[in-house]
Homo-oligomer: A and B are copies of this chain.
Amino acid sequence: MLANVFRGVNEFGIEDVEKPRAGIGEAVLRVTLTTICGTDLHIVRGEYAVKSGLVVGHEPVGVIEELGPGLDGFSVGDRVLVGAITPCGQCRACLSGHLSQCGHGAGYEALGGWRLGNTLHGAQAQYVKIPFAQANLAKIPDELSDEQVVLLADIASTGFSGAEAAGVRLGDAVVVLAQGPIGLCATVGARLMGAAMIIGVDGDDTRLAMAKKMGADVVIDHRSEDVVGRVRSLTGGGADVAIEALGTQETFENALRCLRPGGTLSSLGVYSGTLQLPYDAFSAGIGDHRIVTTLCPGGKERMRRLMELVRSRRVDLSPLITHSFALKDIREAYALFGERRDGVIKVAIRP
């Protein structure tokens, strides 16, 4: 089968590799749609500890091709969505409700529940093998298209979780720092949960416009405006929740400074170095702040809930898919996405 294989720093592309077979508790999907994640850019640039020869990609939509022994309630031919995280449901972390930190057959030292395109072959391929399939195959309602659900696998689940982990309440003021794909989904999530004021921050005109389209009440251009001062003024003394969605010192620190006493910083960005917690913005007792982090929640029940939100038209993420490519043209897709050309937000990849 054809698959996008990582070979080394900036060395990757379509190869003909062996089609996977399903073992106990596993399923093989024929991939019908997938996408490229910002994390995949880090992988192909060699910034992550991923083995040469790995098939990249962790956001599969597909059709069940083969079911291994020990599965119940699925049929070959079912259309399914699989989250980026594939929890086993049966380890210490999963049984504690930390599905994202799944460490099947191991203690908590394990690598977490992200396996596809990380420790197992991924979804930028014609076929992909799903581990712990009983916990991870979410049937797609007939009335929903592949395009309508593919972004739920990762960015919507992650972005929404930024609002959920913070515990956004009715009437809250929420600021979302950076309006890339994850930040835009955090904006949607805050809106879904009943925030009364949502402030989107970015420095890119396309993304600021998209932020307004996806639910921000106010946008702040960090190139020309004082982010912290503006947020504190708009909110009468600080936001209830600040969601960090880029992974830089600046966005992290601004998020902290935007908060009211007792406010919550929900951190979604992946940082690339040591962060500073400045004394004047963080000192226990001064602010009663909370900092929460969340890795993309997965599992079939999470995917089912997110699909229900799409089915009932609470959410329409389709404006975020700005471009589409065939699997064979995947290097072209990576180039466009990596260089943020042509107003790209997310690309669809069709095997």
Contacts and interface: CB of A to CB of B under 8 A. Distances in A.
Contact of A300 (B72, B95, B244, B272): B95
Contact of A89 (B89, B173, B269, B311): B89
Nearest to A272: B279
B261 A107 contact: no
Given A95-B302, A271-B283, A290-B290, A312 B170 contact: no
A319 interface: no
Interface string A237-250: 11000001001000
A278 B289 contact: no
A296 B299 CA distance: 24
A232 B196 CA distance: 33
Quickly give the copy total for this chain. 4
Interface stretch (A98-106, A202-210, A221-229): A98-106
Interface stretch (A13-21, A50-58, A187-195): A187-195
Contact of A274 (B189, B277, B301, B312): B277
Q: Indicate the member of A160, A244, A293 with the most B CB atoms within 10 Å.
A: A293
B288 A291 contact: no
A98 B261 contact: yes
A69 interface: yes
Contacts of A295: 284-286, 288
B24 A312 contact: no
A276 interface: yes
For the complex of A and B, list the 4 residue pairs with the smallest distance between their C-beta atoms, beginning with the closest: A171-B305, A89-B89, A108-B237, A72-B105
Interface of A: 24-25, 69-70, 72-73, 87-101, 103-109, 112, 132, 134-135, 158, 160, 164, 169-173, 189, 192-194, 196-197, 217, 236-238, 244, 247, 260-262, 267-279, 282-296, 299-302, 304-306, 308-309, 311-312, 314
